[in-house]
Structure 1
């Protein structure tokens, strides 16, 4: 009986690994002309906001209590390349590729008019700052939530090794295998308490390549200090949880000091998913910092 159970588990693991591996290997190479991002526009307000999700997220991450602000804002919700319902081609998933894919959608929908705020969470925060720096004339400012900035790769790995078992495994030498097997452990029994059911369900909408490469290419390889030199005097709202174990607030405090028109809002008892807990608090902070009467 035990042998049969072990055999069933092994067959399941091998089947999942084979399918996930082939999904990437057989996928077409990325072509920006034929593979547009999945997105939707909600709201009827005069002020534009672009919302960029984080690792393993989707555009649906932002939908909790969203109806409360759709009268004030026109919101562009985007699935990043390799995540959600956007294409998942063979790609490096570099920062430059993600920015170019976003630029195509932003210009198509007219969110490049200089009257737009860009708002990102986690990896989306990195991408938001990078896009703001690349296209400063497109935006009135940026809001970044849970910005993952580290002094070095070693600091990142040390930080993650102090977190949950899954975090430790994800950044270990078995990280790529762990990514391949994600359909097996993204089940309700393993759902983190700080994720909603819908967000957790959507977190399986990626490939091992899009996750693994995005982690390395966007989060770990990006030098935010150098990248953001040109926007040090622009309005940026940093929102960070005091209890964020994925992205230490001490690093964000140090980084934010370099910006002359920025504000760091520390959320007491907030973790890396603070938006899901108090979305209206975040929206209020955005409205207060970016004067809605003049924006």
Structure 2
């Protein structure tokens, strides 16, 4: 039996929204509310985040994919559309490799099918060192605000505060384990490219975590590709109305 906590709204074609690093399923509350008018929307907490426990100190994205496949089966969720933000996109891609055409479609929010390069791997290692030295709360307080475009931080001060509070529901074990999992993940570009189903990418031109150059480099692998001008890593907040419209349109088109 899966130990993953989740909430769901609506009925019909399943849409599974997978949160990112330092996030919880509740980040999708507004999206779930809107999408539930047409779909069964399912929002899990990944292991070590929110209300989902993590039982091991090391976890791979492949193991997370198996865990989520079991979760889908237990809850009668068939042929879902997966939408993942950042880390959630990496998880969705691992699920794509595992489940293939059992997925109706896949969408990435500020994410990439490419593996970490050497510079990014070094940054992950520094993150692990920081977490071990200073703990989770100090880390998330400094990690969350820069996810937003600098020009949007004053405008979205309350949303940044809420995102930081949600990030504090991340366990130290989960943060370390998933930092390692992201660092060590494989390149899944060819897997993405060979998938014949609908594929969505939403990218931010000011995204400091997934550079716009990387998004443009994988553009041809997607059937639906959009850039958010002047937006950072948090398009679902910084450009909520537009991104919700894009996601809903994508889901309606393929369901």
CA 92–191 in structure 1, closer or farther in 2 if over 3 Å, else same: closer
Any stretches of 5+ residues in structure 1 without a counterpart?
1-32, 161-166
Match of 1:108 in 2: 74
Match of 2:197 in 1: 234
Contact 2:46 2:52 in 1 (8 A): yes
What's the secondary structure of 2:51's corresponding residue? coil
Does residue 275 of structure 1 match 2:239? no
1:124 Cα deviation from its structure 2 partner: 0.3
Which residues of 2 match residues 190-205 of structure 1 at below 5 A? 192=145, 193=153, 195-205=159-169
1:265 Cα deviation from its structure 2 partner: 0.5
Any stretches of 5+ residues in structure 2 without a counterpart?
146-152
What's the secondary structure of 2:41's corresponding residue? strand
CA 83–236 in structure 1, closer or farther in 2 if over 3 Å, else same: same
1:279 Cα deviation from its structure 2 partner: 2.6
Deviations for 1:141-165, whole angstroms, at most 9, x for unmatched residues? Answer: 111001145564323257x6xxxxx
1:102 Cα deviation from its structure 2 partner: 0.9
Which residues of 2 match residues 144-183 of structure 1 at below 5 A? 144-148=108-112, 152-156=116-120, 171=126, 174-178=129-133, 180-183=134-137
Structure 2 distance, partners of 1:82, 1:55, is 10
Match of 2:175 in 1: 211
Structure 2 distance, partners of 1:144, 1:239, is 6
1:219 Cα deviation from its structure 2 partner: 4.7
Task: State the TM-score, normalizing by the size of structure 1.
Answer: 0.73
1:66 Cα deviation from its structure 2 partner: 3.8
Task: Mark the structure with the bigger radius of gyration.
Answer: 1
Structure 1 distance, partners of 2:172, 2:250, is 38
Match of 1:263 in 2: 224
Moved more, 147-156 or 79-88: 147-156
Structure 1 distance, partners of 2:48, 2:110, is 21
What is the number of equivalent residue pairs in this alignment?
A: 244
Match of 1:128 in 2: 92
CA 282–147 in structure 1, closer or farther in 2 if over 3 Å, else same: same
CA 220–262 in structure 1, closer or farther in 2 if over 3 Å, else same: farther
**Match among 243, 265, 268 for residue 206 of structure 2:** 243
Structure 1 or 2: more helix by fraction: 2
